[in-house]
Amino acid sequence: MQGLLYDISPKLTPRTAVFPGDTPLSQDVLLSFKSGQHLMLSALKGTVHLGAHADAPCHYSPDGEDISQRELRRYLGLCQVVSVNMHQPGRILCAHVNAAE
């Protein structure tokens, strides 16, 4: 592959939006230098639908493939990045994307 690759993944924080009722990102600090332990150790908790991701067909179809059955080439190729300005949380619709072009 030639050219430049840009990682446009959004930064994940506890304020990153999640689907209503889903689990937001959180970090539990288990050990820390501040508390006198010999290392920093933490656990992350959050939905797998956090930030930029691709849903496997089994997520939205009872007969859909698991992500391990998908070929990586399906997720590589040209793209267009647009900024969709939402004034309130909600589902991004085609009209929002078309307005951003």
Let me know if 59 is a catalytic residue: yes
Q: Using DSSP, state whether 42 is helix, strand or coil.
A: strand
Residue-wise burial string across 57-92, b where 16 or more C-beta atoms lie within 10 A, e elsewhere: eeeeeeeeeeeeeeeeeeeeeeeeeeeeeeeeeeee
Catalytic residue among 38, 49, 53, 59: 59
Residue type, 71: E
- Catalytic residue numbers? 59
